A and B are shown apart, each in its own frame.
Chain A
Amino acid sequence: MSWTPADPMVSLKNVHKSFGDLKVLNGVSLDVMKGDVICIIGPSGSGKSTLIRCVNALNDIQQGSILVEGQEVNDPKLDKLELRKKVGMVFQQYNLFPHKTALQNVMMAPIRVLKQDKAQAEETARGLIKKVRLEGKENAYPGELSGGQQQRVAIARSLAMRPDVILFDEVTAALDPETVGEVLQTIKDLAEDGMTCILVTHEMAFAREVADHIYFTDRGVIVEHGPPETFFQNAQDPRTKEFLSQIL
């Protein structure tokens, strides 16, 4: 049974994950179709970040199944390289390589991992830096860029690997308020280009605007999910209602 684009691009079934005695994910299931933008929201410690870290095998899971384009992630013989070519990730703390310029950060993985030739990788990287609106910053080191600029370089770095889906792990949480907007705009551009995105976020207005589907997690389970309009205006579960009343 091979994967076709009509199947979910990412499919989680009954995923369980614990760190020692601490149960973080308690049977999570969700499907993401190609081109979908989904937002995962919920209180701190509800397992949102762990959930998406499991999708590209940065954390392993104890039980359940995670399929990425039909590839089982919960498999001791997992071909991580194959998985990570399909799944990009952007982190809260940007995690750029501090000893490389913005351009080098973007070029590095295509050259090392995809074995692209340098000229081609550089051309692509310059294009991506332009796409995230950082023209002129190619030769700046991460330490010379603002948080928002670094995060956009990180997005370009992820895009350079031509992933099929990108995971965004609270990517605006560490930013100054005035630079949040530029990063969200970049993500919105991607979503409009049809990139499949899974976002963990606290930006409710943004989630409402770009998401096709919102998932609300609490204590390791998905409490409620739905399209943004229904979700924000017509939440059913008391926990969702309480959470939304606190933040909206």
Chain B
Amino acid sequence: MEFVFEWFRTLYQETGINLPFLYDEYDRNRMIDGFFTTIWLSLVCLFFSVIIGIIGAWLQGSAFKWTRRIVNGYIQLFRNTPPLVQLYFFYFAIGTLLPRVENDWGGQSPILGSFAWAAISLSFFAGAFNVEIFRSGIEAVPKSTVEAAEALGFSKLQIYRDITLPLAFRVVLPALNNNLVNLVKTTTLAYAIAVPEMLYEANQIWSDNVNVTEMMFFLLLAYFVLVGVLVGGMNRWERAMKIPGYGG
């Protein structure tokens, strides 16, 4: 490993191509932290946005008019506003309205930090799209299949969990994957409220080393690989979920 690091140091000395996060331990650790923060933020948001999508789609089928209205209002609000504005709104508007807590040094800290607000904001943002995606899948499940489950005595919740959702999931996977890919890329917005994710750490590094061009090349490649891995995983999942003899 040390050999590789030294090679990049020499590369810098000989050509001026400066990739300090490869030969400098301090910058390397910043980049690794940023990478894992991006991964962690993505996973948290993926998880909660899918949960929001599933619950929202279930509530959209509710018999109560107001439940449906609230869900639709939520979708409109989060789909029709820019995610960066949402992020600022959560962090600066909601965040400052909440009570503060005493921190370890006796000072006052917000109850939720920037990472938590980014996770909340981006989950709601992607969740709004997921509700619509899941709804389209639920509508694609034949009514007669649901009826068969009803006739067997399944409860509404059992039908949703055991029949509707598994079938809807297969229908929506391509659309869901698209949205989740977008979500991972949108985590870079967390940069704006100083969440130390990959873009933010890269910014720290280029500020210290004045190597903007190299860092931009690196960032583009890093996200390309990261999202590529995600897409590959999703495609495998799609294939694994395929039912023999069902739907082409």
Contact = CB atoms under 8 A, between A and B. Distances in A.
A96 B152 contact: no
Interface in B110-164: 142, 144-145, 147-155, 158, 162-163
Given A95-B144, A95-B145, A98-B167, A89 B246 contact: no
A158 B151 CA distance: 9
A109 interface: yes
A85 B243 contact: no
Contact of B170 (A58, A99, A113, A141): A99
Interface secondary structure of B, over-half rule: helix
Contacts, number: 72
A96 to B, nearest CB: 7
Nearest to A141: B244
A99 B153 contact: no
A99 to B, nearest CB: 5
A17 interface: no
A93 B151 CA distance: 14
B166 interface: yes
B167 A99 contact: yes
B130 to A, nearest CB: 21
Nearest to A97: B163
Contacts of A158: 152
A166 to B, nearest CB: 10
A109 B246 contact: no
Contact of A93 (B144, B150, B154, B170): B144
Given A95-B144, A95-B145, A99-B243, A113 B151 contact: no
B107 interface: no
Interface of A: 56, 58, 80-81, 84-85, 87-89, 91, 93, 95-99, 108-109, 112-113, 140-145, 154, 157-158, 161
B245 interface: yes
Contact of A99 (B144, B154, B246): B246
A161 B148 contact: no
A154 B166 CA distance: 20
Nearest to A83: B153
Most B CB within 10 A of own CB, among A81, A98, A145, A161: A98
B229 to A, nearest CB: 27
Contacts of A142: 245-246
A113 B152 contact: yes
- Ranked 7 nearest A-B pairs via Cβ: A143-B245, A95-B148, A84-B153, A109-B152, A143-B246, A144-B245, A89-B151
Contact of B166 (A99, A109, A113, A157): A99
A58 B150 CA distance: 8
A113 B151 CA distance: 11
Given A81-B153, A85-B153, 7 more contacts: A84-B153, A91-B148, A95-B144, A96-B148, A97-B149, A99-B246, A109-B153
Contacts of B153: 80-81, 84-85, 109, 113, 161
Interface string B51-73: 00000000000000000000000
B158 to A, nearest CB: 5
